[in-house]
Homo-oligomer: A and B are copies of this chain.
Amino acid sequence: MNRYSLNQATTKYWPLEDVVAASAKAELSWIGLWREPIQEYGVEKAAQLVKDAGLQVSSLCRGGFFTATDPAERKAKIEDNRRAIDESAALGTDTLVLVSGGLPPGSRDLEGARSMVRDGLAELAPYAEERGVRLAIEPLHPMFCSDRCVVSSLGGALDLAEQFPVQQVGVIVDAYHLWWDADVYRQIERAGARICSYQVSDWTVPLPADTLLGRGMMGDGAIELRRLREACDAAGYTGPVEVEIFNQELWDAPGQEVFDLALARYQEHVA
């Protein structure tokens, strides 16, 4: 279990202190954190809490959202991403997860939007490296391409990442977003040392009305989670495996119950 990391978004309404305590009690090494609740709790205070529990932060979610036609808006996003980098450094994680942003309103220029992502990375990458943080591009499922993330495949994420040194920009391999891709195993091999994290949940149908909350518990869906994990391992990835599930039913369930279930399902379907 030394690679297991529960992202706190999986137990969204559970207080940070509870998920940290549960992770420590289960003798885990890692925990995944989310910016908004950490800002609310206090970044320095959260860093201390995690450290005192003997945990390390696997990643901070999330920066990005680079795509905007208004230059002032793009500049504001860059500033926000600098803060996210500072927060990552303060929390002691080397991985800042970036969601690219969708098409600007009214635009159909997908290549233009992807260029904005590249430009954002270029502005931030040296700043991040100086602070020991790597920018981790997370390709999202193609159903989010227009409104959330114009980077929709691991190949597309690597096309961007490879324009930067490997210690500056990497990628997130999230099974939920990538499992359907006939090219995914080849792209994981290509990713190699660019892999910043392997994240797991499961693909279940039908999708809920809010498609952001469609992720299932490992084992409840269609994804070969262990095989994808083994492919990441074979590509040289030895870091934490993060459980990240957005699901209203799980959010409404008691935190400890979800914590225990996720851990058991990880052992059964991923480890």
Contact = CB atoms under 8 A, between A and B. Distances in A.
Interface of A: 103, 108-110, 114, 141-143, 145-147, 151-153, 155-156, 159, 179-183, 203, 205-207, 209, 211, 221-224
B222 A153 contact: no
Contacts of A141: 142-143
Nearest to A208: B209
Nearest to A207: B211
Contacts of A153: 181-183
Contact of A155 (B152, B182, B206, B207): B182
Contacts of A223: 108
A181 B142 contact: yes
Given A156-B183, A180-B152, A182-B114, A146 B207 contact: no
A153 B153 CA distance: 11
Given A114-B182, A146-B203, A152-B182, 17 more contacts: A103-B222, A108-B222, A108-B224, A141-B142, A142-B143, A142-B180, A143-B143, A145-B179, A146-B180, A152-B181, A153-B181, A155-B183, A156-B181, A156-B183, A159-B182, A207-B211, A209-B209
Contacts of A155: 182-183
A145 B110 CA distance: 23
Contacts of A179: 110, 145
Per assembly, the copies of the chain total: 2
A207 B142 CA distance: 13
Contacts of A151: 182
Contacts of A152: 180-182
Contacts of A222: 103, 108, 110, 145-146
Nearest to A114: B182
Contacts of A147: 205
Contacts of A207: 143, 207, 211
B211 A146 contact: no
A33 to B, nearest CB: 29
Sorted nearest first, the 4 A-B pairs with minimum C-beta distance are A156-B182, A145-B180, A146-B222, A142-B180
23 contacts: A108-B222, A108-B223, A108-B224, A110-B222, A141-B142, A141-B143, A142-B143, A142-B181, A143-B143, A143-B207, A145-B180, A145-B203, A146-B180, A146-B203, A146-B221, A146-B222, A152-B181, A153-B181, A155-B182, A155-B183, A159-B182, A206-B211, A207-B207
A229 B156 CA distance: 22
Contacts of A114: 182
